[in-house]
Amino acid sequence: MAKTDTIPEAVSPLREAWGQFLKNRPAVFGLALLSVIVGLVLYGHFLHDADPYDIVWMPLTPPGDEAGIWFGTDFLGRDMMTGLLKGGGPTLLVGLSAALITVVIGILMGALAGYFGGWVDDLLMRLTEFFQVLPALLFAMVLVTLFSPSLWTVAFAIGIVSWPQTARLTRAEFLRIRELEYVTAARSIGAGNGRIIARVILPNALPPLIVSATLTIGVAILFEAGLSFLGLGDPNTMSWGLMIGQNRNYILDAWWPVTLPGLAIFLTVFAVSLVGDGLNDAFNPKLRSR
Amino acid sequence: MPLEKTDALMSLRDLKVEFDTRHGRVTALSGISLDVKPGETLGIVGESGCGKSITALAMMGLVPNPPGHVTGGSIHFQGEDITRARARRMRKLRGGEIAMIFQEPMTSLNPVFTVGDQITEAILLHQDVSRTQAEKQVVELLATVGIPEPAKRAQSYPHQLSGGMRQRVMIAMAISCRPKLLIADEPTTALDVTVQAQIFDLMRDIQREFGVAIVLITHDMGAIAEMTDRVAVMYAGRIIEQGTSDQILDNPLHPYTRGLIGCIPVLGREAAGAEALPPLAEIPGIVPPLHLLGEGCAFAERCQLADDHCRAQRPALEIPALQNGGHPVACHHAGITTRAELPA
Amino acid sequence: MGTIRYIFRRLGYGLILMVGVVVLNFLLIHAAPGDPAEVIAGEMGGITEQMMADIRARYGLDRPLPVQLGIYLANIARFDLGMSYYFDRPVSQLIGQRIWPTVLLVLTAQVIAIFLGVVMGVLASRRPNGPFSGFVSVFSTVGYAAPVFWTGLMLIILFSVIVPMFPVEGMSSARFRGGGFAYALNVAHHLVLPATTLAIIFLAQYARLSRASMIEVLGADYVRTARAKGLGEGPVIFRHALRNAVLPILTVAGIQFGNLISGALLVETVFNWPGMGRLAFDSVLRRDYPTLLGVLFCASGVVVLANLVTDLSYRLADPRIRTGGR
């Protein structure tokens, strides 16, 4: 082997974690599965483009009974395949935006509480506890019912009920990191509070927050599915949860209109969890040997 | 294997312990032979990672499995090979005949039970007494190990006691069933210096009162000088020098042992009668990872005296031919202290 | 601090949280688009001017907001949660009937989930890299990812179409006439599927958590001490290790109670279980806001109580908290 005098290239922690992630087989499987699902949801219309509300055949036709209707029809005779391809969009969109709202509120609350401590911490933590007492789905139901359901009210309702966990995690990280030397160093060269929070502490708190944000997407998708199942989603868009809710009264006659959309939700959340677990392992090398 | 007749309480013969790791199977102990005689104090000394704690756990039959395995040799306790003993028999010996105290008194007691309950549990396991009698014994034991208000303290939870008090509780638990052998794994490392001295005093008192043999495991030559009758020095899973405490402290033959003694602070060295030694020196480097050991002497990489012979062939543990007598040591240059003395 | 004083302090804090929930309800009624009186009346149709006037007088809707809040709080302090104009009955009466089925469902599911979860976690921790441990990891991810209402529907397909063993609807058989023990058996039979469905998600999480917790505790020094005493594996695991390993599980069990109620809402809807969740679903369909807000209030109360019980059991389980140490 040739000896070189070059210093090994510095590897950023994120890139190193990515390398670790790629060695984790379940995580890579999850990522691949997720890519396929997102690909089908985004570009599925190139394969099969139709209106999910169109009635195409006899109601409750089993999968494969009729050429071209591979996944059967629902209780009104609408094509399940169209519904599955179109129904993922709102689910993923609401899931992602709800997760974004959750993470933004959670990080803001947690960062302020953890950084300033004292009465700010007390006040924000009481608020967090208050929101943890409210049963999340019930509160989201109330919000959506009072303010008429649309994609955005649903996403907002989910965000409003889910942020406390992110806030607690962020607070714990900020409490830990604000005592470290480099924060003192930043303060000693005159960095202001805003700068220290956003540019010094937050980047160092990111790994656990990235993991939590990923898992939050899964929770938000389940949430959206639950609300749509109850008929509280946006009434004008097809979604996986809605398909299950509408077809559940026919479950004893036809398994597929309920089973297939549920399987789609399950696979999506499963893939997101695998990715989240993989990220967690990648950021915590100490735990890997377990 | 024929065992030579000894008066030893415990005899380790050619003991081999291996661990399964990510780097494959690694040898943690490669052929340890030791005797512990009744009522004596044997020191096992070395840096962390040299195998001294594994030796202690092996003596208790507690090598963590998986990933560890005793793969060769024997440990005879009062004539019985405990590496072959059944689990049931081993549990009877453990805590009954052989007891152990650990390095971390802060974490070695279960936080959710009172210290009294934890000692009572040990007594009820090994003695045929009622719970009330056992609880009475606990109070006496706590008094024996010098805990004030023992009846009240028995009701305390571990977190309500200081580190020194907790180590006294551990000692009380260890001697509760009058063991013949007490293994102490770095019993004072986690404690303040003044408390260390108190714990050593207590251990000496206990030994005098109960006649228990003690195996003291430590990295601290000062503790060896203060406590032990005989010493085994370990390095990278082997014993590299063995003798009476006086032999080892006054006339260390292995460069590693000299390095360890060099690490006694000056005050301690005067107490140890080792004034004639070279000035305080550090041993450069660290113990090599066990999976990277080669054919030669494991200490060669850190040794000033090492030559090609040392790197090629591992020295055996034997009494060297020296005019001022000697004790077993595993070094090709036994007794030589500087490079200048090396044969050309 | 004495346990009694602690209980009172926690009760006081819970009371403050409940006042918070009431204020939130009040704000929601006023923040919702439209006339608060119409919100309270709901979209029941055929509402008379006389009824609207009653509502306005009852809630003091022509008076300043702080006074209205005061009236609202005073009403609730008297357990007056308002009137359900759809069911034409007081909300407190409606909830009083529906709260017990929910409590029964939630507690059964929680007990099953914790018990089986801990058993699975302990078994898995015996061989952290063994096949059962792998199964627990996969199961916990799968159980967590499956939407609870879908799991319920799948169980209905399995147990009514394929192997008809358990009833899939309601809390007791419609024509059931017996009483006492026979009735309890009938309810238990109906409870099997809903409770199992609800338990599965939480079972998955508890199994994963107790596996991790047991693996950590089994490596602790005090477990080595217990072995060094000569204790056998049974007492080492169940007395020394488990007592410590359940502490994080207790904490999570408390936090999960709100989620358990959310899950119960969906499960009750799937299995037609006559609890608060089903009531909430019905009142959403009928825009019956007083009932919906009443359910939110009572469900929050259940969570507050559950948290109190969790904190107390944690205090009992961990002497470091009880005796004010670290």
Predicted complex ipTM: 0.86
The chain C residue lying nearest A262, using CA atoms, is C150
**If we measure between CA atoms, which residue out of A238, B79, B56, A245 comes closest to residue C153?**
A245
The pLDDT value given to residue C109:
94
Claim to verify: residue C124 and residue C243 sit in the same structural domain: yes
- Which residue among C44, C77, C110 closes a domain? C77
Could you count the other beta carbons within 10 Å of the beta carbon of residue B32? 25
- Chain-chain contact of C284 with A143 (C-beta, under 8 angstroms): no
- Is there a contact between A251 and C157 (Cβ–Cβ < 8 Å)? yes
| Domain match, C72 and C221 both | no
Among the partner-chain residues A147, A225, A259, the one whose CB lies closest to the CB of C154 is A259
**Are residues C262 and A145, on separate chains, in Cβ contact within 8 Å?**
no
C115 and C49 in one domain? no
User: Which residues from chain C sit within 8 angstroms of residue B159, using beta carbons?
Assistant: 319-320, 323, 325-326
Q: What is the pLDDT of residues C277-297, one digit of tens each?
A: 889 988 888 878 888 888 999
Residue by residue, DSSP assigns A273-287 as HHHHHHHHHHH-GGG
Q: Please state the φ and ψ torsions of residue B315, each to the nearest 5 degrees.
A: -75, 145
The pLDDT score that the predictor gives to residue C325 is 47
CA distance linking residue C285 with residue A245, whole number of Å: 14
Contact A137 C266 (CB under 8 A): yes
**Confidence at residue C285, expressed as pLDDT on a 0 to 100 scale:** 82
B117 touches chain C (CB under 8 A): no
Asked if C72 and C107 sit in the same domain, the reply is no
Q: Average pLDDT in the A33-38 region?
A: 88
Residue B98 forms beta bridges with which residues?
B94, B181
Co-location of C65 and C166 in the same domain = no
Residue A244 has pLDDT above 80, yes or no: yes
Please state the domain count of chain C. 2
Q: Looking at the predicted structure, is the pLDDT value of residue A104 above 50?
A: yes
**What confidence score (pLDDT) does residue B239 get?**
85
Residue B51 has pLDDT above 60, yes or no: yes
End-to-end CA distance of chain C: 14
Q: For a pLDDT cut of 70, what percent of chain C falls above it?
A: 95
Q: What tokens does C161 get?
A: 């179409």
Q: Which fold has domain B1-97+178-264+282-288?
A: Rossmann fold (3.40.50)
Q: pLDDT value at position B279?
A: 44
* Chain A partners within 8 Å of C285 (Cβ): 231
Q: Output helix, strand, coil percentages for chain A, rounded to the nearest 5.
A: 75, 0, 25
Which has the higher per-residue pLDDT, C322 or B72?
Answer: B72
pLDDT score of C256: 84
**pLDDT one-digit tens code per residue, C237-279:** 888 898 888 888 888 888 888 889 989 999 999 998 899 988 9
* Residue A97, pLDDT score: 92
User: In whole angstroms, what is the distance from residue A106 CA to residue A169 CA?
Assistant: 9
Task: Tell whether C125 and C10 lie within a shared domain.
Answer: no
Q: Quick check: A204 pLDDT over 70?
A: yes
Residue B1 has pLDDT above 60, yes or no: no
Chain A residues within an 8 Å CB radius of C161: 252, 255
pLDDT for residue A178: 83
Kindly list the distances between the CA atom of residue C176 and the CA atoms of B193, C170, C179, in Å, as whole numbers in the listed order: 77, 12, 9
Q: Which residues of C touch B217 (CB under 8 A)?
A: none
pLDDT at A231 over 80: yes
By CB atoms closer than 10 A (0-12, 13-18, 19+), residue C41 is buried
The beta-carbon neighbor of C226 closest among B96, B110, B111 is B110
Catalogue the long-range contacts made by C168-176 (C-beta closer than 8 Å, 24 or more residues apart). Answer: C168/C193, C168/C271, C169/C271, C169/C272, C170/C271, C170/C272, C170/C273, C170/C274, C171/C101, C171/C273, C171/C274
Residue where the block lists tokens 């609401």: A94
Tell me the pLDDT tens digit for each residue of A129-143: 888 888 888 888 888
pLDDT at B104 over 90: no
CB-CB under 8 Å, C150 with A262: yes
**In terms of residue numbers, what domain contains C298?**
99-317
Cβ of C230 and B111 within 8 Å? no
Whole-number average pLDDT of chain B: 79
Q: For residues C54 and C135, state if they share a domain.
A: no
Return the closest-CA partner of residue A166 out of A110, A96, A100, A223: A110
- Tell me whether residue C323 is in a domain: no
Residues of A in contact with C269 (CB under 8 A): 229-230
Q: Report which DSSP code applies to C314.
A: H
Residue B266 has pLDDT above 60, yes or no: no
Structural domain includes residue C112: yes
pLDDT value of residue B276: 45
- Counting as contact any 3 or more CB pairs under 8 A, the partners of B are C
User: pLDDT, tens digit, for every residue of C18-61?
Assistant: 999 888 888 888 887 777 777 777 655 556 777 777 777 777 77
pLDDT of residue B286: 62
Closest chain C residue by Cα to residue A253: C161
Question: Which residue in C has a C-alpha nearest to residue A230's C-alpha?
Answer: C281
C320/B159 touch (CB, cutoff 8 Å), yes or no: yes
Among all residues of chain C, which has the CA nearest to that of A216? C145
* Per-residue pLDDT tens over the stretch C155-169: 988 887 777 777 777
Q: pTM, whole model, 2 decimals?
A: 0.81
Residue B293 has pLDDT above 50, yes or no: yes
Of the candidates A133, A232, A255, the beta carbon closest to that of C17 is on A133
Residue ranges covered by each domain of chain B: 1-97+178-264+282-288, 114-176
- Which residues on chain B are in Cβ contact (under 8 Å) with C326? 159
Least confident span in A200-214, B23-37, B66-80, B279-293: B279-293
Q: Are residues C54 and C197 in the same domain?
A: no
Q: Given an 8 Å threshold on Cβ–Cβ distance, is B157 in contact with C320? A: yes
Which residue on chain A is closest to C284 by alpha carbon? A145
- State the Cα angle at A102 between A96 and A107, rounded to 5°: 125
Average pLDDT over residues B30-52: 85
Burial grade of A7 (CB within 10 A; 0-12, 13-18, 19 or more): exposed
Please answer yes or no on whether C221 and B92 come within 8 Å at the CB atom: no
Claim to verify: residue C116 and residue C188 sit in the same structural domain: yes
CA distance B59 to B42: 13
Residues of C in contact with B122 (CB under 8 A): 229-230
Asked which of B108-112, B273-277, C170-174 is least confident by mean pLDDT, the reply is: B273-277
pLDDT at position B5 is: 53
Is residue C208 in some structural domain?
A: yes
Q: Model confidence at A101, in pLDDT bands (50, 70, 90)?
A: very high
Chain C residues in contact with A132 (beta carbon < 8 A): 255, 258
Query: How much is the pLDDT for A288?
Result: 43
Peptide bond into B265 cis (omega under 30): no
Residue C255 touches chain A, beta carbons under 8 Å: yes
Q: Is the pLDDT of residue A215 over 90?
A: no
Question: With an 8 Å Cβ cutoff, is A14 touching chain C?
Answer: no
Q: How many residues does chain C have?
A: 326
- Domain identity same for C235 and C127: yes
In this prediction, residue B292 carries a pLDDT of: 65
Interface of C with B (CB under 8 A): 220-222, 224-232, 240, 243-244, 317-320, 323, 325-326
State CA B53 to chain mean position distance: 7
The reported pLDDT for the residue numbered C198 is 93
Give the range among B72-81, B116-125, C18-27 with minimum mean pLDDT.
B72-81
pLDDT for C59 equals 75
Question: CB–CB of A213/A173 below 8 Å?
Answer: no
In a domain, C278, yes or no: yes
Query: What are the tens digits of pLDDT across the range C49-107?
Result: 777 777 777 777 777 778 888 888 888 888 787 777 777 788 888 888 889 999 999 99
Say yes or no: C17 and C104 in one domain.
no
A 200-259 residues with CB < 8 A to C:
218, 222, 225-226, 229-232, 241, 244, 248, 251-252, 255, 258-259
Superfamily of domain A87-287: MetI-like (1.10.3720.10)
Higher pLDDT: A184 or A101? It is A101
B125 to chain C nearest CA, in Å?
Answer: 7
- Asked if pLDDT for residue A31 goes beyond 50, the answer is yes
Look over chain C and give the mean of its residue pLDDT values, rounded to a whole number: 84
Q: Which of A126, A133, A274 to mutate to test the interface with C (most CBs of C within 10 A)?
A: A133
Closest-CA distance of chain C to residue A226, Å: 7
pLDDT score of B137 more than 90: no
Q: Does pLDDT of A182 surpass 80?
A: yes
Q: Which of B93, B109, B112 sits opposite C225 (nearest CB)?
A: B109
Q: Please judge whether A137 and C269 are an interchain contact, meaning their C-beta atoms are less than 8 angstroms apart.
A: no
Taking CA–CA distances from C235, the nearest residue in chain B reads B121
Q: Which whole-number Å values give the CA distances from C242 to A137, C210, C218, C317, in the listed order?
A: 33, 9, 9, 11
Q: Compute the residue count for chain B.
A: 344
Q: Which of A40-49, B262-271, C73-82, C87-96 has the lowest mean pLDDT?
A: B262-271
pLDDT band at A105 (very low <50, low <70, confident <90, very high): very high
Residues C65 and C141 grouped into a single domain: no
Do residue C222 and residue B111 have CB atoms under 8 angstroms apart?
A: yes
